[in-house]
Amino acid sequence: MGFFDKLLHSKVPESVAVQNAPLTVCAPFSGTAMKMEDIPDPVFSQGVLGTGCGIDPAEEIVYAPFNGTVSQTTDTLHAIGVTSEDGIELLIHVGMDTVEMAGKGFKCLVKKDQAVTAGQPLMTFTLSDIQSAGHPPVTAVVVTNADDFAGVELLADGRVEHGAPLLRVTK
């Protein structure tokens, strides 16, 4: 069994399966959660694209943060958009300025308009490639339609495991 076979057929952690609560965004991977204003890029830290947080990754697989649909993939494979069943439009942008890497070190495992379930692998990336290219690996997790909701609250601070509640969106 190859790496991707193991990846795609691995058991979804119970915490992921349980954490598909309404209006909740779970951590797409394990790492260190940080406030939005601490993301090392003004486009994200100033909320230009929406409200959310950053995660400094401790693993190289991005998992679906809720049940929903893939709404966007990029040619450069560094970012993915997912829309939840309850209308949260989420951008997961791996690393800062990683568009410049032109896809090196990234692999998308899903297609646009594909239905996904919480905990399903969406993409992989290689931290060493991001760091070798001189880019911070901090990943922006942003509710791009935050204006459609009353608020977006960061639930985690510091170490977070993938599948744990990360953001709560209120109507």
Enzyme catalytic residues: 93
C-alpha span between 169 and 2 (Å, rounded)? 38
| CA-based radius of gyration for the chain | 15
Which ranges in the chain belong to alpha helices (H)?
Answer: 3-9, 14-18, 42-45, 127-132
Residue appearing with tokens 């308009």: 113
Q: In terms of C-beta density within 10 A (0-12 exposed, 13-18 middle, 19 or more buried), how is residue 98 classed? A: buried
Lateral strand order in the sheet of 106-108: 61-63, 121-125, 106-108
DSSP 61: E
C-alpha span between 119 and 36 (Å, rounded)? 23
Tokens matching residue 19:
């954490």
